[in-house]
Amino acid sequence: MSMRKRLLVYILFVIMLCMPVKVMAATPLITKDQANPNNCYFHFDGKIWVYSTSRYKSEVSRAVRLLNKKYPVFKVTAAKNKRDVWVKDKQSVSRKNVCAYTVHRTGTITVVRSTMKKMNKRMRILVIAHELCHAAGLNHSNSRKSLMYPYVNKLKIKTLSKADVKALHKAKKLWKQDNDKRKRIIRELLAAEQLGQGIRMWISGRSIMFVVFPERGTTYSSSNPGVMEVYPSGAVVINYPGDAVLTANNNGQIHRFRFRFTY
């Protein structure tokens, strides 16, 4: 090879080294500070069951189909007691330009009608798909090629990005860890119930603990909501010290757990 050709190859090599390399932007997960517990509180069978009372049921179904093309775990259900995620409507909210929002503690996605009606159907589908990914444990991304980019009108994609799918796989591993941990807690509670023992817990200020059965269809109630407030999802909010009984109806089997909360 002549000196001139060698020089040309060297110059091309240097140019290639200096070229910017496109790195796939990561899609972050919900942190412990933003959801309690971390990530998802459901999905015992590896599926995300979506129940909708929203007027945008068609968009919900289309959003599920859109997500399943890249990550097939979302399922639509007509049974309320089978749901993981509940999609419901609200006419308006105080903040402007909010299309929808997800509350992890209660497992609900709220669709804001006053904003959604300004969008075309494709954008509404993307909004609901975005919120379903929030429910699955994904946080906002700063990449416009991610479905988790917070502004739907600036998205540059029509489905999940590779980074979104990678994050969903990571979140699924955390679901299993969380579910295994909750099953151990349930076994301990059932043993205490069988022995007739109460459960004493020390709290500092307002705190949240978590109790959930590994099967769907469980309903919860508290004998003293002022002390311990219970959500349908099984999330327990401790308001003040005192005594309370948590009743869980697990598909016809009644369990009662006695708690005493002290500072």
8-state DSSP, 80:
G
- What pLDDT, on the 0 to 100 scale, is given for residue 29? 86
Q: In the chain, how many domains are there?
A: 2
Could you tell me if 35 and 101 lie in one domain? yes
Share of the chain above pLDDT 90, in %: 43
**Helix-strand-coil split of the chain, %, nearest 5:** 35, 25, 45
Residue at token pair 């007509």? 78
Q: Tell me, what CATH number does 130's domain have?
A: 3.40.390.10
Query: Is residue 129, in this structure, part of any structural domain at all?
Result: yes
Could you tell me if 92 and 142 lie in one domain? yes
- What pLDDT, on the 0 to 100 scale, is given for residue 38? 39
Could you tell me if 123 and 232 lie in one domain? no
Could you tell me if 141 and 56 lie in one domain? yes
DSSP string of 103-159? ETTTTEEEEEHHHHTTS-HHHHHHHHHHHHHHHTTB---S-TTSTT-S-GGG---SS
pLDDT (tens digit, 9 = 90+) per residue, 75-100? Answer: 999 988 788 889 999 999 988 889 99
- What pLDDT, on the 0 to 100 scale, is given for residue 22? 46
Between 118 and 18, the more confident residue is 118
Question: What mean pLDDT do residues 3-27 have?
Answer: 58
Give the other-Cβ count within 10 Å of 253's Cβ: 10
Query: Is residue 2, in this structure, part of any structural domain at all?
Result: no
Could you tell me if 121 and 47 lie in one domain? yes
Query: Is residue 38, in this structure, part of any structural domain at all?
Result: yes
Could you tell me if 92 and 165 lie in one domain? yes
In this model, does residue 59 exceed pLDDT 90? Answer: yes
Query: Is residue 159, in this structure, part of any structural domain at all?
Result: yes
Could you tell me if 216 and 161 lie in one domain? no
Structure tokens at 115: 């904003």
pLDDT range class, residue 3, cuts 50, 70, 90: low
Query: Is residue 12, in this structure, part of any structural domain at all?
Result: no
- What pLDDT, on the 0 to 100 scale, is given for residue 36? 47
User: Containing domain of residue 228, as a range?
Assistant: 198-262
Q: Tell me, what CATH number does 241's domain have?
A: 2.60.40.1080
Query: Is residue 180, in this structure, part of any structural domain at all?
Result: no
Could you tell me if 162 and 227 lie in one domain? no
Question: What mean pLDDT do residues 167-194 have?
Answer: 85
Between 237 and 62, the more confident residue is 62
Which residue, 74, 8, 6, 2, is CA-closest to 43?
Answer: 74
Q: Three-class SS of residue 102?
A: strand
Average pLDDT, rounded, for the chain: 83
Query: Is residue 145, in this structure, part of any structural domain at all?
Result: yes
Pairing mode of beta strands 100-103, 108-112:
antiparallel
Could you tell me if 55 and 124 lie in one domain? yes
Could you tell me if 113 and 170 lie in one domain? yes
Lowest mean pLDDT, pick from 25-34, 113-122, 145-154, 208-217:
208-217
Which residue, 203, 220, 180, is CA-closest to 261?
Answer: 203
d(CA 108, CA 51): 10
Could you tell me if 36 and 159 lie in one domain? yes
Contact at 8 Å (CB) between 100 and 116?
yes
Query: Is residue 24, in this structure, part of any structural domain at all?
Result: no
d(CA 228, CA 247): 12
Could you tell me if 164 and 90 lie in one domain? yes
- What pLDDT, on the 0 to 100 scale, is given for residue 40? 46
Structure tokens at 145: 């090629």
Contact at 8 Å (CB) between 28 and 167?
yes
